[in-house]
A and B are shown apart, each in its own frame.
Chain A
């Protein structure tokens, strides 16, 4: 694998968000992930890149796919991966996020992968530990590996990111996936639209460099990529849309609405899919248009790349040892 990886350093100790990364950083990670994408299709999937390293999945919020994806990535690279679900244990005993961080830090892990329901919590935790931290999703803030796997999927299909027109549709307000994608696509020179009712779009979102649309037809017109977001009902503090039925009628992706996009437009979704809420079942399963399974596949490759990049960063080793 070494020979395939670009010979540039990824000079970040943590991966807390896409905001703050350069185009070169992103290309570095995507190139590395590309090689792992192919590697993962081989029968023998074991490497020793992370041999001797301990990776901890620290999830303060329920997750199956992201945690599994990181676990697989760590194991395929030869690392020791441990899963911790803190949701039901320490927090109820009154232990704070910082306490948990300090406790785990004392066990000398090399990488912590953290998911937390509060925006900014992963960054706060990263300030208190000596190891590298990868953000596995914090509140409505960022989910950098999801944006990277989306970018890898797009790049593999379209050959580029620059100049593509991408529509991000649905619950952008609560979506860390949406925010990370907006950052990444802007950094890489794509054009980004957000589409949804104003109740599901964050205030002043246009200042993040997106065009705002409130109707699917206008928002999807001439798009190369239609990125659907999950309607995260469990996050709703109140009533943002009148009903799932009404939402689907106006904002759910079906063939009629998809017709506005380019004929070769790809359909993406970070999963898990709410069939009949934000996307029609047939559209989601349309193998000529939907790349949803490919996104999952890219996820493992991207997470392998991130784990390798972070642990290879020379400053990580010194920082980790010193502090």
Chain B
């Protein structure tokens, strides 16, 4: 059902020549000339949250860019010599910008590689992956930033932009060379799955990052409160005899950081927010005009702690799946705009890391191929309009990170997803293109699926069925 079609030969051939970015904001002129092929997407529902466009129309790509778009385009037919894609009245939107992905390369290529993640991304309609620095070695050096970007370009599945570490070796002690890392292509800074725990280090990191107007992304968890914990603290953790992580561990970290933002004026972003109190803290900070933003992931509004069931390690996450009231608060936060963006939180784990007693199992869930259908649940359940939702996975994260994708714009990158928002299907882990299969959503009936994905004008995925 979700089998990926082989790329057309003309595209498969030019993996090396594809127009990948040297720097986040720059696409080279050479690349544009090298692949000046034109593709017309006709009979589309153009959906661009950034400009508010939601209308039937057509779009023309030329090389790596969007050359033209609009309701009237190709009203008199497509001129000869242009490849034509009939969109069948489905949604043509900016490709998804997934601002939280763990690629596992370098260091854990048995779980995922930039290549396999790129394929999974393409199948999921994700055209940009922003990857965490928690690799081996850690991305805390300009050479590693360049390595990941180069590998991403070579893989050719989706754009790859790395975060760099806030602290050297993710040790939470000494700052990385943020300015140089940014110049090398790091889009923002985070210690990945670890919180920057020390208040003084966080203060200095925020303060220094503000020199260059860089964004610091925090894993919101007070480590001492979460130490030894494996799931949300409450009745279920008590019954299962598992050490719990209190919801308060999140809001304590967020509220501390908000004070530091007041002190420094730096831009601060809370990653994968999961609790009602956490959302409320961000809501209040925003109301006071502070430069605070946040994202969440589909599991925090699509599941709650009951998914752990009888020690189901696929439901082991960090932060943990929370109580139902938290889940509802996450939905509310997305609706009222407190939660700016939604990311897949893609965290591949192999069988050996999950087929263990719960306390020993590694946390994480893969999400590149399920991001789109899972966010669409919020639309089908009547919580948000399609445009409002798509914004959270396109222009909102692109704007937060200063990426040029995430919108349908003349002269902008031709990163596109064609999707049917209503198509029913069942998530099937066996069909995932990701190297790892750890998803608690396996078997879940969903609606909405990517049909075709283009990155920089190149078609990287076409759904066969």
Contact = CB atoms under 8 A, between A and B. Distances in A.
Interface stretch (B338-346, B355-363, B396-404): B355-363
Contacts of B234: 203-204
B228 A237 contact: yes
Interface string A123-163: 11000000000000011111000000000000000000000
Interface stretch (A22-30, A47-55, A113-121): A113-121
B242 A203 contact: no
Interface residues of A, number: 25
Contact of B240 (A120, A205, A237): A120
A97 interface: yes
Contact of B359 (A139, A179, A203): A139
A124 B235 contact: no
A23 to B, nearest CB: 19
Contact of B358 (A98, A120, A207, A237): A120
A98 B235 CA distance: 28
Interface in B207-261: 227-228, 233-235, 237-244, 246
Contact of B233 (A19, A203, A207): A203
Contact of A204 (B227, B238, B310): B238
Secondary structure at the B interface, as helix, strand, loop or mixed, is loop
A170 B264 CA distance: 47
B241 A140 contact: yes
B311 interface: yes
A233 interface: no
Contacts of A202: 237-238
Contacts of A97: 356-357
Interface string A146-189: 00000000000000000000000000000010010000000000
B391 to A, nearest CB: 38
A96 interface: yes
Nearest to A180: B241
B80 interface: no
Contacts, number: 70
B465 interface: no
A287 interface: no
Instruction: Say which size band chain B's interface belongs to.
Output: 20 to 34
A155 B23 CA distance: 76
A208 interface: yes
A190 to B, nearest CB: 19
A310 to B, nearest CB: 20
Contacts of A138: 241
Nearest to A120: B311
Contacts of A123: 310-311
A42 to B, nearest CB: 38
Contacts of A118: 357-360
B352 interface: yes
A139 B239 CA distance: 12
Contact of B357 (A120, A176, A204): A120
Interface string B307-324: 000110000000000000
Nearest to B234: A204
Contacts of B239: 19, 179, 208
Contacts of B359: 118-120, 139
Interface string B325-352: 0000000000000000000000000001
Interface string A1-31: 0000000000000000001000000000000
Interface in B384-401: none
Nearest to A60: B357
A98 B354 CA distance: 11
Contacts of B228: 237
Residue from A120, A121, A176, A204 having most chain B Cβ neighbours under 10 A: A120
A205 B238 contact: yes
A96 B353 CA distance: 11
Interface string B146-169: 000000000000000000000000
A124 B312 CA distance: 10
Interface string A273-306: 0000000000000000000000000000000000
Given A124-B311, A237-B228, A96 B352 contact: yes
Contacts of B238: 202-205, 207-208
5 contacts: A19-B239, A139-B242, A141-B242, A202-B238, A203-B233
Which 8 A-B pairs give the minimum distances between C-beta atoms? A120-B311, A141-B241, A140-B241, A118-B357, A121-B357, A119-B241, A202-B238, A204-B235
